[in-house]
């Protein structure tokens, strides 16, 4: 994984749990251009890394001396947010170049739906749409205004295009059926946030007959995290007959790669679809946000970065 050294230029608290980090190249060089919705990956001391969406309130993203990300502290998480919130100004980080797995079609009217910290990729998307004069609506949902990062700045920047939905303000509650009706015959829907919101929004869109190619998602939870009740299961590689046991807390990709199987994947969050693999036999336990409800019920494919098995064995077309 190619990385460059970046330095923490500034840290700004946004809420009690969310902080913005301004990062600049340690050598002072300008940063590469990036697409709205792009992210960087920050290397962690344990050898892992975490992806954070880049933030820009205007469309001038390239050739800038610094970039910005916002990170929500998750005390019970896997350590990425705790590492970021432990940083100080001047600390150096190994960071990958910007990459976009959540691309925006900026010439098409869209509805943007963000939940919680999932607002971060939507900011650069809204800025790009505004710069191009493309019609859009930005819906931002959270528990209350006090925990919603950038709420005031977004209102100043995007005016009536912004719609805040707070759980403690019933008059502004998020109505997914009404939101889906805004899509009409041509608008695309972009969703980023926790799994529950993504699943509910996708279900509402599918129920309304919105074509799958007009629904775009990015998950801000780590879908590969162990869940209560997870049990070991076996994966058979059809091309070789090799069988691997996948224990709780590890993914199919983790185990098969250790066993020498050559795999193609990217996000490892269950939202890009690159690792999708055909299922020859067995019953998947789908934990991605890529597949439609019909595809989940059919059980013919699986996202091996996050999903597990309901059956004792999966035979995969690998």
- Taking only the tens place, the pLDDT of each residue in 12-25 is 999 999 999 999 98
- CA 238/CA 261 separation, integer angstroms: 12
Q: How far is CA 106 from the centre of its chain?
A: 19
Q: How many CB atoms lie within 10 A of CB 292?
A: 14
* pLDDT (tens digit per residue) in 49-79: 888 999 999 877 766 778 999 999 987 766 7
Q: pTM of the prediction?
A: 0.80
Q: How many CB atoms lie within 10 A of CB 251?
A: 22
* pLDDT (tens digit per residue) in 227-254: 777 889 999 999 999 999 999 888 999 8
How confident is the model over 119-133, as a mean pLDDT?
Answer: 96
Q: Which domains does the chain have, with CATH numbers?
A: 4-95 (2.40.30.10), 110-219 (3.40.50.80), 233-316 (3.10.20.30)
* pLDDT (tens digit per residue) in 131-150: 999 999 999 999 999 999 99
Say whether pLDDT at 282 is over 90: yes
Residue 107's pLDDT band, with cuts at 50, 70 and 90, is: confident
Quickly tell me which residue has 């990217």 as its tokens.
Answer: 266
Angle at 206 between CA 203 and CA 212, to 5 degrees: 115
- CA 6/CA 52 separation, integer angstroms: 14
């Amino acid at each position: 994984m190619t990385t460059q050294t970046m330095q923490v230029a500034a840290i700004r608290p946004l809420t009690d749990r969310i902080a913005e980090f301004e990062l600049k190249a340690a050598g002072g060089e300008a940063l590469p251009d990036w697409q709205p919705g792009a992210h960087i990956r920050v290397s962690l001391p344990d050898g892992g890394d975490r992806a954070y969406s880049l933030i820009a309130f205007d469309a001038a993203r390239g050739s800038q001396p610094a970039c910005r990300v916002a990170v929500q502290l998750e005390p019970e998480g896997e350590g990425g947010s705790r590492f970021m919130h432990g940083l100080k100004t001047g600390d150096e980080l190994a960071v990958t170049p910007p990459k976009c797995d959540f691309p925006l079609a900026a010439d098409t009217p869209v509805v943007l739906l963000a939940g919680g910290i999932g607002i971060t990729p939507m900011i650069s998307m809204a800025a790009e749409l505004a710069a191009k004069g493309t019609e859009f609506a930005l819906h931002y949902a959270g528990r209350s205004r006090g925990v919603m990062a950038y709420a005031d700045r977004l209102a100043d920047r995007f005016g009536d295009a912004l719609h805040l939905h707070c759980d403690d303000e019933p008059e502004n509650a998020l109505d997914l059926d009404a939101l889906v009706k805004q899509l009409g015959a041509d608008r695309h829907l972009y969703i980023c946030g926790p799994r529950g919101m993504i699943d509910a929004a996708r279900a509402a869109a599918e129920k309304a007959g919105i074509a799958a190619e007009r629904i775009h998602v990015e998950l801000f939870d780590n879908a590969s995290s162990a869940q209560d009740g997870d049990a070991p299961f076996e994966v058979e590689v059809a091309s070789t007959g090799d069988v691997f046991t996948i224990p709780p807390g590890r993914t199919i990709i983790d185990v098969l790669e250790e066993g020498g199987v050559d795999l193609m994947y990217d996000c490892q969050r269950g939202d890009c679809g690159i690792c999708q693999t055909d299922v020859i036999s067995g019953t998947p336990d789908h934990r991605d946000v890529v597949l439609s409800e019909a595809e989940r019920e059919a059980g013919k494919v699986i996202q091996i970065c996050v999903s597990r098995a309901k059956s004792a064995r999966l035979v995969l077309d690998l």
